Structure 1
Amino acid sequence: MTASDRPAPPWHGRYVTLDGMRGIAALAVALFHYNISQAPHGYVAVDFFFALSGFVLCRTYLPRWRSGLTTWQFMKQRVVRLYPLFLAGIVVTTLSAISNHWTGKGDLYSYAKIAKSLPPNLLMLPSPFTNTLFPMNVPAWSLFFELVASLGLALVLFRLPRIGQLAVAIAAACFFVPAVLAREGGNLGPLWSQMGTTMLRTTMSFTAGVLIAGLPVKEVRHPGWLGVFCLIAILAMLVADPAFIPKGWYDVTCAVLVSPLLVWLGSRGEPSRVLMPVAWFLGEVSYAVYAVHWALMEPLRYFKDDLGWNEVLMGAVYLAACVGLGWLCVRFVDIPLRRRLNVMLHARARHVPPRAIPN
C-alpha cells in the first residue's frame, strides 16, 4: 500500500490544536472541582468553551444558514449533538448522588431534591425548584446556556452585520466586567441568582468566537510551535494563580482577552505531529469528560480527604477515571444515540408533506 492509498487519520482536516485545547480545558474544570488548589482558575475554561463554540458553530453553520437552513433545523441538530452526553451526565451524577446515602458521605442530596430537579433537568432545562439550576450535575448549567447561545446565533447573530456583532460583544463585556470585579471573581453560572451575569458572560464570549470566525482563514495550518504554544498557554492560564494579580482582574483578563486570543491562535496552527493524536483524542472525549466528571468527584475525594492519599497522585487518578468514563460514554452512549436520533429525525422528515416542512 502506497502512502497515497492509506486512509487519512481521524484528525485530518480538523482544527487539532483547538481539539487539544478543549480537552485540556475540560480536564482543568474537572480538576478544579476535585481539588481547587491544583487548578485554581479552572472555571475560566468555560469562557474559552463559549468562545470556541461561537467560532466553530459560525464556521460550520453560517454557510448552511445562508443556503436555507432554518432555525428549527439548526436547533434540532444542536440538541442531537448535545443531549446524549448531557443525559449520560445527569444519569451517572444522579446515581452517584444516591450512592452517597450508603458510602458514608451523608445526605449531600436529599431524595426530595432529586425528585424535584430531575423532571426539568432531564429535558435539559434548569430546575425552578432549587437554587442550583442543575443540582445533580452542577456543571451542566453551561450546556443549557450553550443551547441558549445557539438559539441566539440563529435568531440574532447570523442576521447582524459584523459591526452589530461587535456592538453586542462590547455591550455584554461592559456589564460583565464590573459584575465580576464587584464579586472579586468569575466563578459563576450554576445558581439562579447569577443568571443575569451568566447571560452576559455567555453572550460576550460566544459572540467573540463568532467575530473570530469572520476573520481571514488560514487554510493550510502547518504543524509547529504555534500549536504547541497554544496547548501550553491554555494549561498555564487554568492552573496558574499569580498572587500579584487580584482574582477578579485575572478572571476578567482571561475571559475578555486571553480566551478569544487563544481561539484565534489555535485556529491558525497545529501542534507537532507527535502531539496530534493526543490532542485529537483529548478533543474527542472533552465534552464527555465535562458532562460526567461530577459523578466521580465525591467517590474519589474519599481517598484524598479521608484516607489522606497523595493529592497529586489522586488528582492524576481522578483525571484518568474521568477520561475513561468519558470514553465509555462516547463509545456506548453518544455515538449510538446520536445515530439513532438522526435516523429518527430524517425518517420523520421524509414522511412530512413538503408544504409542512419549514422554509
Structure 2
Amino acid sequence: MKTTESTRGRADSTASRDSATKSDAGVMSGRVLELDALRGLACLAILFHHFKPHLLPFGWAAVDLFFILSGYLITAIILKNGRQKHFLFHFYMRRGLRIWPIYYLTVLVVAAASPWLPRTYDYAGLPYILTYTQEVGLHWSRSTPAFSEYLMHTWSLAVEEQFYLIWPVLVCLVGRRGVVSLALALATAAVCARSSEMYWRVLLTRADGLALGALLAALFTARKAIREHSAVPKVFAAIGLGAVAYLAFLIASGGMSKPEAPPWPGPSLLAVNVLGAAIVGLVIYYQGRPALSVLRRPRLVKIGQLSYGLYIYHYVLMLLSDDLARAFGLGGRPFWREALTAAVIYAVAALSWRYVEMPLLRLKDRFDYRPTARAEASKPHFTA
C-alpha cells in the first residue's frame, strides 16, 4: 500500500510539474512545448545530416518539417489576431525582431571576414542575401549570384521570409473561411512546379509544407471541437502510414535513387510533407498528455528554443572548422573534432539567445496584437 501511494505521489508530482511548466510557458509565450521540442529534433536532424550525410541521407527533410511548423504557427497567429487593429504592422515588426538580428549579424560578419577566409565569395550576391532574395531568380533561371559558401544554407530562411511577407496579406484578404482553399491551391501549385522541373529550393516548389501547416492551423484553430474528437489521431496515423508506405515503395523501386539530392517527381516530396504534417498533427492533438511527456523535457525544449540560432550558426562554424583543420594539415572529420565543433555551435547559439535575441525580443511587447495583454507577456519566449 505504501509503495502504491508513493508511486502515485511521484506520478502526481511529475504531472504537476509538467502541467506547471506547460502553464507557465503558455502564459509567457502562448507556445506549445511539444512543438518546440519537435523543432529541436528537426534542428538536430539537419545538423547531423550536414555533419554525416551518408548516415542520415534524408536529414534534409527536417527543413520541410520546419516549414510545416512555421505554416502552422504563423497561420494560427493570423487566425487568432488577424482582425486586430494594425495587425499586419505588428506582425511584421514582431517577425523582424525575431528573425532579422542574428541573420544580419551573421551575414555582415561573413561579409566583413570574406577577404581573409579561404573559400570563394562574390559581393555581387550580397544584395540578394541581404534582401532574402538569394533564390528568387531560380524560379525562372538556373543561375543566380551566390555570395558565400558559408551562407548557402540560408536559402530556407529566404523561403520562410518570403512566406511571412506574402501569406498574412493573402489570408487577411480571403478571410478565415478561405484559408483551406488558399492552402490547397498553394500545395497544388508547389507539386505542379516541381513536376515541371522548377528548381526545388525556392518558395513555390517548397510551399506545400507551409500550406499543410496552414491547413493544420485551420483545422485546430478554427474548429476547436476537432481537438477532442477521438477519430482525429486515427486519421493522422493512417495518413502518416500511407505516406511511409509510398516513400518505402519509391526507395525500393529506385524512385529515390539520390536521397541526398532531390528533386524527385512532385508527389514524392509531397509525401515527405504529408508524413511531417501527420506527425505535427498528432503532436498538436496529444499536447499536454502523458503520451508526449518526452517532448516536454526541458533540455529538448531548450534545443527547440535555440534552434533558430543553431541553424544559422552551424553551417558557418562547421565550414570554418574544416578550414582550420585543413590549414593545420588535419584530414577528415574525426569524432573529437565534430564533437568539439558541435559544442562550439551550441555555445554560440546559447550566448546569442541570452545576449542578443532575448534583449531584442523584449521589444515585441511594444507591438502586441492585443494591447491589453501586454502586461501578461513579461518574457520573450516566442521563438517561431
TM-score of the superposed pair, with normalisation by structure 1? 0.70
Matched, 1:171 2:182: no
Q: SS of the residue aligned with 2:25?
A: coil
Counterpart CA distance in 2 for 1:242 and 1:275 is 33
Cα distance per residue 1:121-177 (max 9 Å; x no partner): 345453989523775522222222212112222121343314422431342243144
User: Please, which of 101, 108, 126 is the counterpart of residue 134 of structure 2?
Assistant: 126
What stretches of structure 2 of length at least 5 have no aligned partner? 1-12, 138-142, 229-233, 369-384
Matched, 1:20 2:31: no
The one-letter code matched in structure 2 to 1:12 is A
Matched, 1:201 2:205: yes
Partner residue of 2:3? none
Which one has a bigger Cα radius of gyration? 2
Partner residue of 1:334? 357
How many angstroms does 1:289 deviate by? 0.7
Matched, 1:66 2:87: no
Counterpart CA distance in 1 for 2:18 and 2:79 is 32
TM-score of the superposed pair, with normalisation by structure 2? 0.66
Matched, 1:258 2:275: yes
How many angstroms does 1:6 deviate by? 12
Cα distance per residue 1:236-260 (max 9 Å; x no partner): 9xxx996655133696155432122
Partner residue of 1:357? none
Alpha-carbon distance change, 312 to 95 in structure 1, aligned in 2, over 3 angstroms: farther
Q: SS of the residue aligned with 2:306?
A: helix
Alpha-carbon distance change, 5 to 261 in structure 1, aligned in 2, over 3 angstroms: closer
State the number of aligned residues.
307
Counterpart CA distance in 2 for 1:138 and 1:283 is 22
CA contact (8 A) 2:208 2:270 kept: no
Partner residue of 2:166? 152
Matched, 1:86 2:128: no
Partner residue of 2:94? 77
Cα distance per residue 1:65-89 (max 9 Å; x no partner): 1233433332222112211121233
Alpha-carbon distance change, 141 to 78 in structure 1, aligned in 2, over 3 angstroms: same
Partner residue of 2:344? 321
Partner residue of 1:355? none
Counterpart CA distance in 2 for 1:133 and 1:219 is 46
Greater Cα offset, 294-303 or 79-88: 294-303
Alpha-carbon distance change, 130 to 252 in structure 1, aligned in 2, over 3 angstroms: closer
- Report 1 or 2 for greater relative contact order, CA contacts < 8 Å, sequence distance ≥ 6: 1
How many angstroms does 1:92 deviate by? 4.6
Cα distance per residue 1:93-147 (max 9 Å; x no partner): 44664553xxxxx3x124xx24x34455345453989523775522222222212
Alpha-carbon distance change, 5 to 287 in structure 1, aligned in 2, over 3 angstroms: closer
Counterpart CA distance in 1 for 2:110 and 2:78 is 32
The one-letter code matched in structure 1 to 2:216 is I
Counterpart CA distance in 2 for 1:130 and 1:253 is 26
Partner residue of 1:285? 306
Partner residue of 1:9? 21
Partner residue of 2:285? 268
Counterpart CA distance in 2 for 1:7 and 1:266 is 16
Alpha-carbon distance change, 46 to 7 in structure 1, aligned in 2, over 3 angstroms: closer
Q: SS of the residue aligned with 2:120?
A: coil
Partner residue of 2:69? 52
CA contact (8 A) 2:68 2:211 kept: yes
Partner residue of 1:294? 315
Counterpart CA distance in 2 for 1:172 and 1:97 is 38
Q: Percent identity?
A: 22
Q: SS of the residue aligned with 1:131?
A: coil
Counterpart CA distance in 1 for 2:219 and 2:358 is 32
CA contact (8 A) 2:187 2:212 kept: no
Q: SS of the residue aligned with 1:268?
A: helix
User: Please, which of 154, 157, 162 is the counterpart of residue 143 of structure 1?
Assistant: 157
Alpha-carbon distance change, 144 to 120 in structure 1, aligned in 2, over 3 angstroms: same
How many angstroms does 1:287 deviate by? 0.6
The one-letter code matched in structure 2 to 1:269 is Y
